Chain A
Amino acid sequence: MVERYWEALKGVKDPEIPVLNIVEMGMVLSVEAEGERVRVRFRPTFSGCPALRLIRQEMEKALREAGAQEVEVVEAKTPWSTEDMTQEAKAKLLGYGVAPPMPLSMAEANPPCPRCGSLQVELKNPFGATLCKMLFQCAACGEVFEAFKTV
């Protein structure tokens, strides 16, 4: 039964990175079901994320469509980290043209260019089009690209 709700949550996309769902982002901590009552613990990625309200609505909708009558979404306070993203999610980001987050131990290092793989990249701005990304330019191929912040 719980499996079904997990599957439903995999249908909820991060509206700012629509190739990823919230489960592979590592945002869902637990799903408990008692009959048709479902309780989800999840944690937001960035504290100022404007998509939060939408994500909560989408979660509730998905769970109801999967058969839940009562849905409770609890926001956990433990900090989210890019370490919680699955390898598949990171690969999807790369395919999407966004440099995936680096391992936490290498948080200070620049990511390789997602287009040509060169390490000759330059930080243009620690902020990008969304809170979770920053802006780089590759010196080798000229590509201006976004990188997911390592947090």
Chain B
Amino acid sequence: MLDPYLKEALVARLTAWADDEVVLAQRLSEWVGHAPILEEDIAIANLAQDELGHAKVWLELRQELDGSDPDHLVFFRDPLEYQNAVLVELPKGDWAFTMVRQYLFDAYENLWLKEATKSAYLPLAEAAGRILKEEKFHLSHSSLWLERLGQGTEESHRRAQEALDTLFPYVRQLFQLLPTDEALVEVGVLPDLRALEAPYLEEVGARLERVGLRPPQGGYVPKSRQEHTEYLWSLLAEMQSVARWDPEAKAW
């Protein structure tokens, strides 16, 4: 079992992961009924559902540690309590923006989840194994889109490059440690995310280059997961509205 400090640290880490998934799922779901073609409408609904499922996995692990209620955490926390990275809260933009973001996020998930399957905390290792199986399909989907957009038309290339210019600096936030992460890394519960940044940049950089896209230099990287843009407020207001109108509801 984990000592109280590690437990608290793991609760914070699980919350950060869950919040990334919840917020991204909400952004993806905004496309449902609006995607460019029917197959993609279905695909994006699948993606949203998967990410929400993954949030559930992380929040249930948290529940085992501190008894918290996953639904309550999702629907009754205010924006400043959300621990998601800025990358996932940015508005969905055009299709290129959504797919480039998805590719950048999928590549990150596939990388760290693979490391997390070796976690010394068995429930985390198992959960990572489960989620990784599904994330492989996400990455294959978004990689194909990256290729189509990068090598499609002049317009698709321009839009993908613009999306990349905006998004890329935010990706680097994903590899930052929370203040309490260090202890988890030391005991082998959490993979050292900082050490994954270089392999990520190499892998993603190579793929971007193959499809004719260039990651920008520099750019602003958020300093902590307490930092948010104004976009998170409207996203959560919409997502939480039904639950907050009727907090006693048992079924919707």
User: Which chain B positions have C-beta within 8 A of A81?
Assistant: 133
| Interface residues on chain A, size class | 20 to 34
A134 and B57 alpha carbons, distance in the complex (Å)? 23
A46 to B43, Cβ gap below 8 A?
no
B39 to A48, Cβ gap below 8 A?
no
A131 and B52 alpha carbons, distance in the complex (Å)? 12
A151 and B123 alpha carbons, distance in the complex (Å)? 19
| Interface residues on chain B, size class | 20 to 34
User: Which chain A positions have C-beta within 8 A of B80?
Assistant: none
A77 and B43 alpha carbons, distance in the complex (Å)? 26
A47 to B126, Cβ gap below 8 A?
no
Residue in contact with A77 in the complex, picked from B42, B123, B138, CB distance below 8 Å: B123
Residues A46 and B50 in contact in the complex (CB < 8 Å), given A77-B126, A79-B129? yes
A36 vs chain B, min Cβ distance (A): 27
A135 vs chain B, min Cβ distance (A): 7
A89 and B140 alpha carbons, distance in the complex (Å)? 27
Query: Residue of B at shortest CB range from A125?
Result: B39
Q: Which of A113-151 contact B (CB under 8 A)?
A: 124-129, 131, 134-135, 149, 151
B58 vs chain A, min Cβ distance (A): 10
Is B77 positioned at the interface, with any CB of A under 8 Å from its CB? no
Is B85 positioned at the interface, with any CB of A under 8 Å from its CB? no
Is A35 positioned at the interface, with any CB of B under 8 Å from its CB? no
**A positions within 8 Å CB-CB of B:** 46-50, 77-81, 124-129, 131, 134-135, 149, 151
Listed by A's residue number, 17 A-B pairs whose Cβ atoms lie within 8 Å are A46-B50, A47-B50, A47-B53, A47-B56, A47-B130, A47-B134, A48-B51, A48-B52, A49-B53, A50-B49, A125-B40, A125-B141, A126-B141, A128-B46, A131-B49, A131-B134, A135-B39
**B positions within 8 Å CB-CB of A:** 39-40, 42-43, 46-47, 49-54, 56-57, 123, 126-127, 129-131, 133-134, 137-138, 140-141
